[in-house]
Amino acid sequence: MIDSALAALYEVETKALNQAVRRNSERFPEDFIFPVVETRVRKLEITNCDLQSCRQNGLAVSALRLHTEHGIAMLSSVLRSPRAVAANIAIVRTFIKLRELLATHEEIGHRLNQLEWRETERDGKVEYVLDQIQRLIREPEPGPKRRIGFAADRASH
């Protein structure tokens, strides 16, 4: 986002926003904020109003700054408007909620792994029982059963 749009979003003057960026320059590396290059103006759809305000104030178009989402979040921590403070609190709460969700998902993942392990173990036992049943089915029937005990002479009774 362009600095003037961010100033409106955070309800501060563009001058105050840029001053906060300059005073906290160590918090804004080049992947958080970067200058507008004249050839990119049309691609980025920067309004003529922004360009005119730069020219009226004697600034080059390169004085415009673009902020990435990280720069926008960082601005909320260096600006002192009520809106910026509220945005910063919302960002922190969002990260806390994300951490809670990740912890919950990690626990769910752990439980799923345990269930998979138990299922694999159970499947192994079921497979063993089925193999034993199949083995018993395949074994040939033994011949005629022999009687246990002494052969009694039937005539002597």
- Whether residue 18 is found in the same domain as residue 73: yes
Q: Does residue 70 belong to any structural domain of this protein?
A: yes
Domain range holding 115? 86-138
Q: CA-CA distances (angstroms) from residue 147 to 139, 144, 152?
A: 22, 9, 11
Number of domains in the chain: 2
- Whether residue 40 is found in the same domain as residue 18: yes
pLDDT tens per residue across all 157 residues of the chain: 888 889 999 999 989 999 999 999 999 999 998 887 654 544 445 544 455 555 555 444 456 788 999 999 999 999 999 999 999 999 999 989 988 888 888 888 888 888 888 888 887 888 888 888 888 777 766 667 777 777 776 665 5
Tokens of 135: 């083995």
Q: CA-CA distances (angstroms) from residue 46 to 11, 88, 118, 139?
A: 20, 26, 59, 85
- Whether residue 55 is found in the same domain as residue 121: no
